[in-house]
């Protein structure tokens, strides 16, 4: 049984750092894994992770959206470690996480009134604001851009880490670049064990897809990535909002420069070839089964990503349901876990049903379309 936090802190103060860490967690390929209570994070464990951040190391931690891989956003050498650990392209922007809105005025040189309104309404939460950067932010943190993406997460472990670290934390998703984002610590360990210093394991994330990103440097503000805050909610508040063509992800668009993650490079993709079939449900079911049978005759192992309303219509090697079409929040929560399951099943082809673009459905379809490399069939 784990010792109470106070006892660990008091009695072990004279022991070596390695001994203290051994009492709190375990190592996997050299990466320290600390199991943390999601409701009341143990201060001794948070302090170990915060010390790693302060010393220029890397820590994977849960947010309400997905697990992030964090480093001190104001330490250029630490941020470089993030890119190296993830094998992340050097021009792919990183979101900076903060413990409170006061940090925004440190990181950004211009915070318009409309941005302050969104902060008041949606923070902490799954909304990232793109603002003009301040000179204090290292170039590598913003990949040389004149803008910075900032958010305040709605997760007790993330906020405890931010507060104890005493610095903004740059944190892209804690996975190898291009792979499905991690929604559990096990996903992080599978991708990054031995490549990062610490993993804070607080169980599965709440939302399952990344934050919504909105560019506050344009007039009107422009949504660059759909996510945990629906576009409908933002439009209710802002009235006039642009939506970047990449949000719907209906086709491949070339960008010279991206100001948000998820815009330019391959993201969210499983190992298998992937096809997304969109249209009315009866036609989608017919086409998905037809494609499954065609690929099966080629000797391929087939996975079908269905929904509760359709799953019993299919015959294939592996059939999984995202959830009910009436519950876009559940579809989002299950998405990346199921894409990773298909990889574990070693399927050759994944055929996925399209869903409605309403609410979090837009974020789910954005990820599915990009994961397929825009291999979309409309029926």
> Which sequence spans correspond to the domains of the chain?
5-201, 273-378
CATH of 273-378, one of 3.40.50.1980, 3.90.320.10, 3.40.50.11030, 3.40.50.970: 3.40.50.11030
* pLDDT digit string, tens, across residues 275-313: 999 999 999 999 999 999 999 999 999 999 999 999 999
Q: Do domains 5-201 and 273-378 have the same CATH topology?
A: no
Q: What does pTM read for this prediction?
A: 0.92
Task: Please report, for residues 37, 63, 148, 180, 268, the alpha-carbon distance to residue 212 in angstroms, rounded to integers and kept in the order given.
Answer: 26, 14, 14, 17, 15
CATH topology of domain 5-201: DHBP synthase (3.90.870)
* pLDDT digit string, tens, across residues 169-225: 999 999 999 899 999 999 999 999 999 999 999 999 999 999 999 999 999 999 999
Question: Which pLDDT band holds residue 23 (cuts at 50, 70, 90)?
Answer: confident
Question: Which pLDDT band holds residue 254 (cuts at 50, 70, 90)?
Answer: low
């Amino acid at each position: 049984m784990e010792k109470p936090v106070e006892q660990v802190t008091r009695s072990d103060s004279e022991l070596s750092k390695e001994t203290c860490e051994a009492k709190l967690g375990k190592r996997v390929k050299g990466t320290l894994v600390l199991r943390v209570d999601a409701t009341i994070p143990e201060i001794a464990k948070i302090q170990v992770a915060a010390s790693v951040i302060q010393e220029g190391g890397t820590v994977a931690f849960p947010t309400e959206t997905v697990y992030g891989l964090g480093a001190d956003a104001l330490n250029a050498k630490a941020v470089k470690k993030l890119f190296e650990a993830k094998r992340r392209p050097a021009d792919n922007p990183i979101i900076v996480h903060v413990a409170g809105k006061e940090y925004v005025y440190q990181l950004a040189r211009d915070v318009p009134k409309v941005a302050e309104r969104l902060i008041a309404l949606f923070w902490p939460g799954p909304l990232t604001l793109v603002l003009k950067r301040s000179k204090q932010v290292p170039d590598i943190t913003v990949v040389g851009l004149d803008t910075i993406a900032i958010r305040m997460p709605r997760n007790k472990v993330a906020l405890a880490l931010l507060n104890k670290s005493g610095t903004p934390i740059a944190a892209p998703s804690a996975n190898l670049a291009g792979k499905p984002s991690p929604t559990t610590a096990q996903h992080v360990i599978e991708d990054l064990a031995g490549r990062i210093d610490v993993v804070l394991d607080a169980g599965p994330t709440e939302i399952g897809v990344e934050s919504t990103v909105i560019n506050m440097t344009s007039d009107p503000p422009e949504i660059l990535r759909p996510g945990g805050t629906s576009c409908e909610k933002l439009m209710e508040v802002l009235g006039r909002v642009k939506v970047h063509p990449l949000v719907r992800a209906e086709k491949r668009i070339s960008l010279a420069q991206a100001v948000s993650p998820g815009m330019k490079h391959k993201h969210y993709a499983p190992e298998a070839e992937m096809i997304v079939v969109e249209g009315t449900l009866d036609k989608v079911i017919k086409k998905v089964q037809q494609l499954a049978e065609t690929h099966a005759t080629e000797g391929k192992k087939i996975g079908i990503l269905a929904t509760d309303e359709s799953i019993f219509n299919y015959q294939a090697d592996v059939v999984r349901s995202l959830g009910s079409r009436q519950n876009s929040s559940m579809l989002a929560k299950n998405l990346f876990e199921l894409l990773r399951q298909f990889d574990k099943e070693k399927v050759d082809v994944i055929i996925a049903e399209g869903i409605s673009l309403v609410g979090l459905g837009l974020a789910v379809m954005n990820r599915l379309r990009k994961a397929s490399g825009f291999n979309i069939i409309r029926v």
